[in-house]
Amino acid sequence: MFHSFIKAYNDAVFDTDRESALQVIDKARAHGHSPEEIIFQLVIPAVEEMMDTLSEDPDANLAQHFMTAQIAAEVSEKMLAQFSRPPATVGRVVIGTARGDLHSLGKRIVTGCLKTMMVEVLDLGVNVPAEQFVTQAIAFDAQVIAISAMMVHTANGPEGCRKVRQLLRDQQLEHRFRLVVGGAPYRFDEQLFQQVGADAWAADGVSAGKVILNCIRELQP
């Protein structure tokens, strides 16, 4: 039963058709499925499937990534409010754009996907100093620090990921956190993430959700 809902939902998301996607959710609710079932048996498997599809499809486009996150986040927020008890958290992530960078689209896509996957996300906003990534990651007890950078000097410069890595090293915290980066410059030079001291990178917002989930699992006992 859920398989047909997942297919219909993802067909609509793939076509960036928000209305049709929400109609699938309404239909599943009308069939008597609980909010918990909708999230865990429909939306999360659908987003996981979409992560694989969009990551592997050379013709996937930014609009599809955005709508995948946007619709999933919208449905999750609505359903979570109706849960009989709060769901277990998969992990915790702090996310922000690097110092000097004001581009928030990638961060928004990643955040939407992660929240749907039951990851707690602390959004630090844009133009975030390196020190703040570290202090907030400690305070939030995060497993992953995610840094978005859309410009070459914010992706590759001394005030972004390089400085966060240095701070983690100086404070002997490298064992505690995984450092993940994303943004256009990393797509043009696939070795860049290593040069700036990141543990992993993602080519797009939806793939970033998957990469971050893997990092969280690595750190879990």
Contact between 89 and 140 under an 8 Å Cβ cutoff? The reply is no
DSSP-derived letter for residue 128 is B
Query: By CB under 8 A, what part of segment 105-164 binds other proteins?
Result: 105, 108, 127, 151-154, 156-157
Site size for other proteins (CB under 8 A): 33
Out of 35, 91, 185, 209, point to the residue binding other proteins (CB under 8 A).
Answer: 185
Burial of 153-184, coded b for 16+ CB within 10 Å and e otherwise, reads ebbbbebbbbbbbebbeeeeeeeebbbbbbbe
Contact between 197 and 215 under an 8 Å Cβ cutoff? The reply is no
Query: By CB under 8 A, what part of segment 8-67 binds other proteins?
Result: 15-16, 18, 59, 61-64, 66-67
Q: Phi and psi of 151, rounded to 5°?
A: -120, 150
The residue (of 107 and 178) whose beta carbon lies closer to other proteins is 107
Least Cβ distance, residue 148 to other proteins (angstroms): 11
Least Cβ distance, residue 220 to other proteins (angstroms): 31
Contact between 112 and 70 under an 8 Å Cβ cutoff? The reply is yes
Q: Phi and psi of 187, rounded to 5°?
A: -75, -35
Strand, coil or helix: 162 = helix
Least Cβ distance, residue 129 to other proteins (angstroms): 14
Applying CB under 8 A, does 195 fall inside the site for other proteins? Answer: yes
Least Cβ distance, residue 80 to other proteins (angstroms): 21
- Site residues (vs other proteins, CB under 8 A): 15-16, 18, 59, 61-64, 66-67, 70, 100-105, 108, 127, 151-154, 156-157, 184-185, 187-189, 191-192, 195
